[in-house]
Amino acid sequence: MSNFKQLFYAHCGQTSPFPLALEIEKAEGIYLYDSSGKRYMDLISGISVSNLGHCHPNVVEAVQSQSEKFMHLMVYGEYVHQPQVMLSKRLSDILPSSLSVTYLTNSGSEAVEGAIKIARKHSGRSQIVSCKNAYHGSTMGALSVMGDLDYKKNFAPLLPDIINIEFGNIEDLKIISDKTVAIIIEPVQAEAGVQIASFEYWEALKERCEATGTLIIFDEIQTGLGRTGKMFGFENIGIVPDIITLAKGLGGGMPIGAFISSPEIMSSITTKPILGHISTFGGNAVCSSAALACIDTIIEEKLLEEAESKAQLFKDLLSENKKIKEFRQLGMMMAIEFESFEINKKIIDICIEKGVITDWFLFNDKSMRLAPPLIINKEQIKEACKIINNAINEVI
Ligand SMILES: Cc1ncc(COP(=O)(O)O)c(C=O)c1O
């Protein structure tokens, strides 16, 4: 074992007894390079983060030029500085007019915490509905709305008055009542293994929320920033939420998140008490500059327009393999389902050995995750699919 690996096991907090433990020294475009110089295709984008690939020159340039001007000035919300203001304005330009006010955070979990806080304070109610097999983050509030009782019971007591319903089940929406603050839901359920609900479901959800005065929070932390082939996942289903959360792909590789809403709902944290939500690093100038560059690059490089045809190529090349049980996909958010975790794991291990990084999902270990950088080109897709198909044929 290398010296670095030993230090990793000794001094870095471990999140599992069997980390991937690849020793990565460099990353560029869709590739990662380990300490021996071996090249890997990153087909999961650091879990839907590197939508522009690694070290996109526009993001690097934004980070470099902003860090020469200033980095941290003051806690979020006190000083007026250009990167933060321009990013918030840019987000309001590309979102529906009701989502005009942004609060910038450091991560997705923090964005979810903020969303829950403004929703509860605005409505005065306490019950929150979320979906089974949903992941919304690891802080205590975000964990409370997670959809896995077995997992979260280990950290109890959590927030009270949380109900989990089945994603996509119209009947379950009846649980939403005039006691419900909000439903927090993803436009595509990511960690359940790319689960897609019907249009009828979204229509019924919207109707039920309108009838009961319940807010809709869309967690777009994985689906946002082009992952589903639209800038935001909700554009696929035609519902505008009351609150949206972003993170992951927003910073082009830099840590930043956001919860976004209307002026009215956001003002819940402005008074009674004042400073109702405080963050030291939220909206950090360097991260905000990176995020601005990231949004502009997605648009300039026409990555949204290309996402569907690239995803179609993945679909064509993989779903012809009859050993695959199911292929689920919306834009560049894809899952390949096999009979069991054991089969999936063996295939994933071979892929990694052959230089293609994939993964399974937190709440669906029979399915392989494919969430490549949106910049991947068709030749690279063909190469990746050849390796995946060979691995499938070797295992099954
Ligand atoms: C849908 C969703 N929400 C929230 C989060 C939490 O984001 P973070 O890890 O940045 O706290 C994640 C992270 O995987 C996620 O996938």
- Ligand 1 atom with the smallest distance to the CA of 247 is 10
Task: Please state, rounded to an integer, the average pLDDT across all residues of the chain.
Answer: 97
Q: Is the CB of 208 under 6 A from ligand 1?
A: no
Give the per-residue pLDDT at 2: 76
- Ligand 1 atom with the smallest distance to the CA of 137 is 6
Domains defined for the chain, CATH in brackets: 3-55+306-395 (3.90.1150.10), 57-300 (3.40.640.10)
Instruction: Return the amino acid letter for 260.
Output: I
Tell me the per-residue pLDDT of 129-177, one tens digit each, with 9 for 90 and over. Answer: 999 999 999 999 999 999 999 999 999 999 999 999 999 999 999 999 9
CA distance 192 to 361: 7
The answer to whether 335 touches 361, Cβ cutoff 8 Å, is yes
- Ligand 1 atom with the smallest distance to the CA of 109 is 11
| Residue among 65, 61, 14, 22 nearest 44 (CA) | 22
Note every long-range contact of 335-340, with CB atoms under 8 Å and residues 24 or more positions apart, other chains counting: 335/193, 335/194, 335/361, 335/364, 335/367, 335/368, 335/369, 335/370, 336/367, 336/368, 336/370, 336/388, 337/193, 337/364, 337/366, 337/367, 337/368, 338/366, 338/367, 338/368, 338/396, 339/366, 340/366
The answer to whether 375 touches 57, Cβ cutoff 8 Å, is no
Instruction: Return the amino acid letter for 42.
Output: D
Tell me the per-residue pLDDT of 320-376, one tens digit each, with 9 for 90 and over. Answer: 889 999 999 999 999 999 999 999 999 999 999 999 999 999 999 999 999 999 999
Q: Which two tokens mark 39?
A: 């090249």
Pocket test of ligand 1: the residue of 148, 248, 256, 369 to mutate, having most ligand atoms within 8 Å of its CB, is 248
End-to-end, the C-alpha distance of the chain in Å comes to 32
Q: Residue 252, SS3?
A: coil
The radius of gyration computed from the CA coordinates of the chain, to the nearest angstrom, equals 21
Q: Is the CB of 268 under 6 A from ligand 1?
A: no
Q: Which residue stretches of the chain have pLDDT < 50? A: none
Cα of 298 vs centre of ligand 1, distance in Å, is 21
Determine what percent of the chain is predicted with pLDDT higher than 90. Answer: 97
Give the per-residue pLDDT at 320: 83
Phi, psi of 103 (to 5 degrees): -115, 125
